[in-house]
Structure 1
């Protein structure tokens, strides 16, 4: 009798654990809905069913990782990026010049390839900053303006206060570094969401298949920080505050560029020489 009772208790407990793991995911594929037929993805990963990743090996701290200046960036472009940073004003005070340089060089290198169709706009997230800091910016390059500045969450597998581990693997629950092209929007369980396509093979090329998207999350809000001392975690999505997500998602419409920067970023698009030639020919156009 005791064994039978214990089995029932553990059976119920196992079911509750499985349901909790299922609900924790950032997105769920439409083909996993048990017969529900829809062409639109419903936001929550199958990675939610994966085992928790190993804890980050880098100690959690507020010490940011130094970023070397990119090679072969012409002085004219570097000065233009410095002038842009100054023009962006106080809202860009926490946007490190080295991260802005990465974003601008990538934008200038990518735009003429046709992968980025929207000129004069870029979004950049510095995941090396603590998640209590607004670390996402949407920038108007032509007019030197910050269009949006907000908090953004990183993946559960990437670390605690700061993101220290990054992965392109489907079951990693990690944020993926690199350059992205924004794709279409849809209505999922998180509401209005936008797909993003990774442009860096080996770093973020699986993002679209992982259903890593821009969406709203209560755990990405100032209120959550007040209650818990930090943001919560996604399953790899750059999740946004409920108060700002609609405007941000609408502004980075199809064909815009997003850079998710962090320790270990390496990209073929960080080509200082190519970016310099493009800037001399077309400026930020």
Structure 2
């Protein structure tokens, strides 16, 4: 009987580690401890994060500076500034440099056929605290924010802010980079959408890790009020239960999503190529 009980416990442990769809850690860090941790003011480490790296950045409220994308022509850069202004107050906390990354990636990816859906992009600034609604779905053609919401990061990536990123199995980390949305299914978290990583070395394992868009009850204002931060996934960009269905429906197959954060590197951040594409077709 003791052997049988031990085997059952081992099997249960294996299931917990099997992927984002099998476990979401709702860490309950006391607010006092969180306040002490977030008081840190060490200078951020801007060293590029490699696929297996876990170099920490101080978990403080001071954001990591975002560099502009090299080689972006003035015409495109001005168009991105105008887009940001037109998006209005809903996008006020979307840093212009992060929007620039998303727009450049969209313009570079769309002509390759990897992104079939034109005129729409989703972007999350994972450097912002998870107490901020840091996820936006944007209609480029009409310069509108279609959705803005909270989004969780992986428990391996940090507490109030995501500070570590990894592409590795069982890392429980968020993976940075560009993604293509794939099909939907009903899983352990209900209605969910698969996503495919498009950046080798940074997020290419996302599909196999079952990193997906899904709802989680730890992604809500009530959870923040109780614990001082959101809960954590196993690497999925988990969404609020009140919004996830509309967001997932909007981001239908072939849409582009960017998870931005410190150390992001991508072949799709090609400023000159994006500029040429914009001159030819605009946001189409």
Partner in structure 2 of residue 66 of structure 1: 65
2:22 to 34, 44, 51: 44
Offset at residue 221 of structure 1 (A): 1.1
The residue number in structure 2 matching 1:133 is 132
Q: Following the alignment from structure 2 to structure 1, what is the Cα–Cα distance between the partners of residues 231 and 13? A: 16
For the structure 1 residues 74 and 56, does the alpha-carbon distance in structure 2 shift closer, same or farther, using more than 3 Å as the test? closer
What TM-score do you get using the length of structure 2 for normalisation? 0.85
Aligned partners of 2:54 and 2:166 also within 8 Å: no
Q: Is the 8 A contact 1:26 1:237 kept in 2?
A: no
Task: Give the aligned partner of residue 105 of structure 1.
Answer: 104
Query: Deviation above 2 Å: which 4+ runs of structure 1?
Result: 11-27, 53-59
Aligned length: 258
**SS of 1:273 mapped into structure 2:** helix
2:253 corresponds to which residue? 254
Q: Report deviation, 1:226.
A: 1.0
Secondary structure of the residue aligned to 2:22 is: coil
| Cα separation, 2, equivalents of 1:162 and 1:177 | 14
Larger RCO: Structure 1 or Structure 2 (Cα < 8 Å, ≥ 6 residues apart)? 2
Separation in 2, partners of 1:205, 1:54: 15
Deviates more, 1:267-276 or 1:58-67: 58-67
| Aligned partners of 2:213 and 2:239 also within 8 Å | yes
Distance 1:241 1:21 in 2: 27
Check conservation: 2:54, 2:165, Cα contact below 8 A: no
CA shift, 1:266, in A, is 0.4
**Residues 220-279 of structure 1: CA distance to partner in whole angstroms, max 9, x if unpaired?**
111111111100000000000000000000000000000000000000000000000000
Secondary structure of the equivalent of 1:275? helix
> Residue 157 and residue 56 in structure 1: after superposition, are their counterparts in 2 closer, same or farther (change >3 A)?
farther
Displacement of 1:22 after TM fit?
3.9
Taking only aligned residues, the RMSD between alpha carbons, in angstroms, comes to 2.5
**1:57 Cα deviation from its structure 2 partner:** 3.2
Alignment of 1:110-189 (within 5 A): 110-189=109-188
CA offset digits 1:114-168 (Å, max 9, x no partner): 0000000000000000000000000000000000000000001000100010000
Q: Following the alignment from structure 2 to structure 1, what is the Cα–Cα distance between the partners of residues 164 and 226?
A: 25
Deviation at 1:17, TM superposition (A): 8.8
Where in structure 2 are the equivalents of 1:84-99 lying within 5 Å?
84-99=83-98
Larger Rg: 1
- Does the Cα contact within 8 Å between 1:105 and 1:270 map onto a contact in 2? yes
Which secondary structure state, in structure 2, belongs to the residue aligned with residue 220 of structure 1? coil
Matches within 5 A, 1:171-250: 171-250=170-249
